[in-house]
Structure 1
Amino acid sequence: MPGKISSGKSSMTALINLETSQTSACVTAWLRKHTLYLGFIGLYVVELQSILAHRGYYFGPLDGIFDTEIEYAVQGYQQKVFLRATGVVDQKTWQALLSGTPINMPIIHPGSFGEAVKTVQEVLWISDYYTAEIDGIFASLTLEAVQRFQLDRGLLGNGVVSEHTWNALSEMPRYVY
Structure 2
Amino acid sequence: MRRMKFTPPTNDYNEEIKNIDEQICELIDRRKKVSDNNPGFPKMEYICNWAEKYNIYEDLLSSIFSMLYHENEYIPIVEPEEFRKNISILRSIEKDNKILSVTSMQQYNNASIINISIEWNSEGEEDYLNMHPEIYISEKYICRMDSGSGGDGHKYYRFIVTPALPDDVSGINLIYKEKNLETKEDSNILIEL
Q: TM-score range by the shorter chain?
A: under 0.3
Kindly name which structure, 1 or 2, has the bigger radius of gyration based on alpha carbons.
1
* TM-score computed with the length of structure 1 as normaliser: 0.23
Whose strand fraction is larger, Structure 1's or Structure 2's?
2
